């Protein structure tokens, strides 16, 4: 469990709050609009109406006591930048700010953000990968060029064992799980035989996995 401050309850901030609450975190939310806070009140330990570009407002929040501070104001970059900077000046431990553009991210990182997130870009990339091929069912980017893909097995793997397919040597990727009818078989052994209807959980460098995806 972590103590978390969320500033800005637009669509992203609201979804973030709901999921963090579901994961049993202690959350305080702040927004200029009372209406934005109302539906989330049962999920949080504290809520406040206020303009966090005002240093006096931030100082009343005790930001140094939170494990994480999220700045979820994507529409008004100037406000996001000011709040990010003020959070650090007020002693925030770790500030995560939402950005819509690379140039915004650079300024945020220079002005107090410990980390910048791009929810719109990340979702767009995930959707593009998933729907650009018929047999890609899910995709998670891990960083440094590595990803996990959920894909169908190649036709020439079906009926053969993991060892016979020699996937690691040929494609430089690893099969970390097999999903069949919603059930997961983690770390299948070398004698596992591929079947047509299953999904493979594959980890590796994105360029290597994409070579397999193009064959599906």
Domain ranges in the chain with CATH number 3.30.70.1450: 122-213
Rounded to a whole number, what is the largest CA-CA distance in the chain?
67
Hey, which bits of the chain come out as E strands?
A: 3-7, 26-31, 46-49, 68-71, 95-98, 115-117, 136-143, 146-151, 173-180, 183-186, 199-205
For 122-213, CATH gives 3.30.70.1450
Average pLDDT, the chain: 93
Assigned CATH topology for domain 3-117: Rossmann fold (3.40.50)
| pLDDT score, position 61 | 95
Does residue 14 register a pLDDT over 90? yes
Residues 6+ apart with CB under 8 A from 211: 171
Q: pTM, whole model, 2 decimals?
A: 0.75
For 202, phi then psi, to 5°, come to -120, 130
Q: Tell whether the model's pLDDT for residue 47 goes beyond 90.
A: yes
Residue 4 has pLDDT above 90, yes or no: yes
- HSE, side-chain direction, 13 A CA sphere, residue 188: 25
Domain with CATH 3.40.50.720 in the chain: 3-117
Q: What is the pLDDT of residue 7?
A: 98
């Amino acid at each position: 469990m972590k103590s978390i401050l969320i500033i800005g309850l637009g669509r992203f901030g609201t979804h973030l709050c709901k999921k963090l609450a579901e994961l049993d975190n202690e959350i305080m939310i702040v927004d200029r609009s009372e209406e934005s806070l109302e539906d989330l009140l049962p999920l949080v330990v504290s809520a406040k109406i206020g303009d966090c570009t005002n240093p006096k407002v931030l100082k009343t929040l005790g930001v140094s006591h939170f494990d994480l501070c999220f700045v979820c104001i994507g529409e008004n970059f100037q406000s996001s930048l000011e709040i990010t900077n003020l959070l650090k000046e007020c002693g925030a431990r770790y500030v995560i700010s939402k950005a819509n553009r690379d140039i915004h991210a650079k300024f945020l990182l220079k002005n107090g953000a410990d980390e910048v997130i791009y929810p719109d870009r990340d979702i767009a990339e995930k959707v593009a990968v998933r729907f650009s091929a018929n047999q890609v069912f899910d995709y998670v980017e891990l960083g440094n060029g590595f990803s996990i893909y959920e894909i169908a097995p190649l036709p020439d793997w079906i009926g053969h064992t993991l060892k016979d397919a020699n996937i690691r040597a040929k494609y430089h990727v690893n099969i970390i799980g097999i999903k069949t009818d919603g059930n997961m078989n983690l770390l299948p052994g070398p004698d596992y035989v591929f079947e047509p209807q299953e999904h493979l959980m594959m980890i590796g460098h994105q360029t290597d996995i994409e070579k397999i995806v193009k064959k599906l």
